[in-house]
């Protein structure tokens, strides 16, 4: 079926506003990951889920960042009281499962480009 989708593709917001970024993983994929990518850099891990359970959130920069995946499918990354330094590409990826080398290959979405003015 379709690959990983993210929305919106572009988001421009004013400093201090809250934003919600959505990720729709490949159907049936157990694991979902959020990354932040600065221009010219590799993706920086933020958090990931197995089904609806958030397994690791050690990469979230501070408590303004949160993520949820309430039904084990779609996930939302929320940034409260945005700051200019939050501007980046936010990428989501999903994988079928852990264990095998093929199963845990991550498939990436197109990303949401966030610009905080």
Partner 1 sequence: KNQVEQSPQSLIILEGKNCTLQCNYTVSPFSNLRWYKQDTGRGPVSLTIMTFSENTKSNGRYTATLDADTKQSSLHITASQLSDSASYICVVNGGGYQKVTFGTGTKLQVIP
Enumerate binding residues for partner 1 (CB under 8 A).
4, 31, 33, 35, 40-45, 48, 50, 55-56, 91, 93, 95, 98, 101-102, 104-106, 108-111
Shortest Å distance, C-beta 69 to partner 1: 15
Strand 107-108, strand 88-95: pairing: antiparallel
| Residue 25 host element (H or E) | none
Shortest Å distance, C-beta 59 to partner 1: 9
Q: Specify the residue, 4 or 79, whose C-beta has the smaller distance to partner 1.
A: 4
Cα 30 to Cα 10: distance, rounded to the nearest angstrom: 26
> With contact defined as beta carbons under 8 Å apart, do 22 and 6 qualify?
yes
Shortest Å distance, C-beta 95 to partner 1: 7
> With contact defined as beta carbons under 8 Å apart, do 37 and 88 qualify?
yes
Q: Specify the residue, 33 or 65, whose C-beta has the smaller distance to partner 1.
A: 33
Q: Specify the residue, 22 or 45, whose C-beta has the smaller distance to partner 1.
A: 45
86 token code pair:
């939050």
Q: Specify the residue, 31 or 82, whose C-beta has the smaller distance to partner 1.
A: 31
Shortest Å distance, C-beta 16 to partner 1: 28
Calculate the CA dihedral of residues 14, 10, 47, 79 and round it to 10 degrees: 20
């Amino acid at each position: 079926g379709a690959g990983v989708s993210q929305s919106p593709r572009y988001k421009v917001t004013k400093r201090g506003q809250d934003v919600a970024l959505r990720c729709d993983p490949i159907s049936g994929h157990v694991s979902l990951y959020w990354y932040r990518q600065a221009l010219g850099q590799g993706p920086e891990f933020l958090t990931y889920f197995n089904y609806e359970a958030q397994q690791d959130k050690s990469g979230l920069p501070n408590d303004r960042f949160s993520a949820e995946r309430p039904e084990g499918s779609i996930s939302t990354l929320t940034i409260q009281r945005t700051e200019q330094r939050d501007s980046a590409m936010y990428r989501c990826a999903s994988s079928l499962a852990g264990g095998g080398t093929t199963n845990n290959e991550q498939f990436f979405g197109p990303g949401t480009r966030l610009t905080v003015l």
